[in-house]
Amino acid sequence: MNKPNETKAAIKRISSDYDKEIVLVSDFSAFDMKKAPLYDAVILDFTDKKGCLQTLKLIRASFIESVYLLPVFILSIVELKNEEIQELSDGVINNIQTDAINSFVENVKIKRKQLKPFTPSPEIDRNQIKLLRYSFTREKSLKPVKDRFSVIGYKYPLINLSVESKDAGAEMKAITNAVEENFFRADFIDRMHLCGKCYSGFLNFKEVDPETGDAHLETENIIHHFSCAYVGPESDFSREDKLICPKCSKTLRHIGVDYDKPSVMYHSIESDRYFQDPEMKAECLNCSHVNDIEGLVQYDLFELHLTDEGKDEAIQPTGSQTAADTVYSGYITYATFGTFLRYEIERVKSSQKNSSIGLLRPAITSDIENDLGHQYQKLIGEISAFVVNNTSSSYILSRSVNSFFILMPETPIDKCNLAMNKMKKSLETLFENNVNEHNIDVHSSVREITPNSEYQTVLNDLRAGILKD
């Protein structure tokens, strides 16, 4: 095996008591990506900030496992607050301590030995497997970072480098798919409101004339004269440096005694119109689309933690399971279910009659699924039929992988709870009778839909309830 040139100062081999090929890269033009798999770890010198970040991104953007899983450290004598570097690297160091580096490299090697080879196919999302394997080998969550060059103002650095399309929708879809398949647990960080057309987070919020859309407005106080009850704009009362009522000609001296200012009047400069209630609009600075406030897309940002299912999928990929995500009789797709849930929240707001939503999830790991083989699909079909037969025809059902969502319009939470517990026990009995070689638990969660409910919060709380079950 050819070793890297040890005499070059641009790429310097780090001596240690361990049998490790660790190199320090100072001149990034001399770094050959083809040789990256030959190293056990790479240390990038932050003296060249641009070259350091570009090289780090090239390593993590690769789809060659021996490259993107390579341990990479950043050497910097100054404190780095660059969140992207912190997310993509394995640590920022101010001196080279081979003991600590060796320990980290060994831990990554132990994790990598567990990873099973797989054959790429349409059912296996290589972007997703990359995220899972990186998170698994590092025992590291994936966090969004602020980025003014990202269309939404945030990005998940590793996801951003991995998705082929660089539009915001592709990154959002990748995150949603991974969470829906229960490969990651999502912990709320922040909430964004994005353009309804291009998903940009760069919006200009402005008040406009509701008739003309003119944003060139000026405001003027409205004055209410107590003694004669006259109400009008302040300009009607202004006489040099005094306020005189245009109706009764009395001088207004003391606010709160002679008069008050109950509100303001808006004046459109372009149309010379006066009005009291302007409209709020959000103009997208990316595509120029003018959004109504209610037309903005709500998008929640999460810190993504690898779940047990995610670890199983990282070790032995079985596919995104979109092919197995069959729409059985009586069910609708998860995307359509989301639309129904949004409508139900709005209906509850207007009717003031609360509804409920439930989630059933059999704890079928990828190992159990592999052991079951063809029996797995038959079992899922039986579960699906059981849920349909044991729920009201007015309920709305959807299935996402092994999760069964049940929307119960105008159903009290206590009734929903009883129904979910009954189905949970019945399914556990079904597993005991038909899959007795495996101990499969069934987890359930319920949430009430009230006038104050928000779509994403309802789903997040529902999934969180599964973890506590």
177 contacts 185 by C-beta, under 8 angstroms: no
Token output for 180: 């829906």
The domain made up of 1-114 is a member of CATH 3.30.310: no
User: Percent of the chain at pLDDT above 70?
Assistant: 92
> What single letter denotes the amino acid at residue 163?
V
359 contacts 465 by C-beta, under 8 angstroms: yes
Separation of alpha carbons 358 and 398, rounded Å: 11
Beta strands in 213-353 (DSSP E): 217-225, 231-233, 238-239, 242-244, 251-252, 259-268, 273-275, 279-284, 290-292, 297-306, 331-332
Confidence band for 328, pLDDT divided at 50, 70 and 90: low
Confidence band for 168, pLDDT divided at 50, 70 and 90: low
pLDDT at 60: 95
Q: Estimate to the nearest angstrom the gap between the alpha carbon of 463 and the chain centroid.
A: 14
**Domain ranges, ordered by start, for the chain:** 1-114, 223-276, 324-468
Tell me the average pLDDT of the chain. 86
Pairing of strands 22-25, 41-45: parallel
Measured in residues, the chain has a length of 469
pLDDT 10s digits, 206-263: 999 988 888 999 888 899 999 899 988 888 898 888 899 999 989 898 988 899 998 8
Separation of alpha carbons 394 and 350, rounded Å: 19
155 contacts 145 by C-beta, under 8 angstroms: yes
136 contacts 111 by C-beta, under 8 angstroms: yes
Confidence band for 274, pLDDT divided at 50, 70 and 90: confident
Angle of the 374-389 helix axis to the 413-434 helix axis, nearest 10 = 150
Q: Is the pLDDT higher at 96 or at 319?
A: 96
What's the CA angle centered on 284, arms 172 and 211, to 5 degrees?
135
Closest CA relative to residue 447, chosen from 424, 423, 413? 413
pLDDT at 75: 95
Pairing of strands 396-400, 331-332: parallel
The CATH code of the domain at 324-468 is 3.30.70.270
Please state, in angstroms and as integers, the Cα–Cα distance from residue 358 to each residue in 253, 331, 394, 419, 452, following that order. Answer: 63, 14, 14, 9, 18
Separation of alpha carbons 358 and 339, rounded Å: 16
HSE (side-chain half, CA atoms, 13 Å) at 392: 11
User: Percent of the chain at pLDDT above 90?
Assistant: 36
49-64: average pLDDT: 94
pLDDT 10s digits, 282-315: 999 998 998 988 888 888 889 999 998 899 989 9
Q: Does residue 165 carry a pLDDT above 70?
A: no
Separation of alpha carbons 203 and 193, rounded Å: 9
One DSSP character per residue, 35-94 reads GGGG-SEEEEETTSHHHHHHHHHHHHH---HHHHTS-EEEE-SS----HHHHHHSS-EES
Separation of alpha carbons 51 and 428, rounded Å: 57
State residue 182 phi and psi, 5-degree precision.
65, 25
One DSSP character per residue, 393-421 reads TTSEEEEETTEEEEEETT--HHHHHHHHH
pLDDT 10s digits, 388-447: 888 888 899 988 777 899 999 999 999 999 999 999 988 888 888 777 777 888 889 999
82-109: average pLDDT: 92
Separation of alpha carbons 261 and 243, rounded Å: 13
5-31: average pLDDT: 80
pLDDT at 1: 38
Q: Does residue 350 carry a pLDDT above 80?
A: yes
Token output for 84: 């992207």
